[in-house]
Chain A
Amino acid sequence: MEPWTFRQYVSDWGEWPFRDWYNEQETRVRVLFDFYKDLLRNRENWLMPEIKEFRLFDGPHAPLGEIRYRADDEDRHGRMVKRRRIRPIGFLRETEHDFILFVGCEEIRNGQYIPSDAPDKALRLFREFQLGKGTLYELD
Chain B
Amino acid sequence: MNWISARWKKLRDKKYREEFVAAQAKRAIPFQIRALMRKKGISQQQLAERSGLTQGVISRAANPTYGRLTLNTILRVAAGFDMAFIGIFVPFGKLESFFDRMSEEQLGNVLTFSEEDAIRTRLSEEDQPTATDIQQAAKLNTGNATRMEKLPTKVKKDSVRPTKIETGNLFDVPGGAYGR
Contacts and interface: CB of A to CB of B under 8 A. Distances in A.
Contacts of A72: 65, 67
Interface stretch (A9-17, A38-46, A98-106, A124-132): A38-46
Given A39-B102, A42-B102, A140-B7, A78 B67 contact: yes
A74 B18 CA distance: 14
A68 B90 CA distance: 30
B99 A38 contact: yes
A31 B103 contact: no
- For chain A, the bracket of interface size reads 20 to 34
Interface string B66-106: 01100000000000000000000000000000011111111
A44 to B, nearest CB: 8
B166 interface: no
A41 B102 CA distance: 9
B78 to A, nearest CB: 21
A42 B100 CA distance: 10
Contact of B13 (A27, A38, A42, A80): A27
A39 B138 CA distance: 24
A42 B109 CA distance: 14
Nearest to B18: A27
Contacts of A74: 67
A114 interface: no
Nearest to B19: A31
A34 interface: yes
Contact of B19 (A27, A41, A43, A69): A27
Given A27-B16, A42-B102, A74-B67, A34 B31 contact: no
Which 8 interchain pairs have the tightest Cβ spacing? A42-B103, A140-B6, A31-B19, A70-B65, A35-B23, A27-B15, A28-B19, A27-B19
5 contacts: A27-B13, A31-B19, A35-B24, A38-B102, A72-B67
Interface of A: 27-28, 30-32, 34-35, 38-39, 41-44, 69-70, 72, 74, 78-80, 140
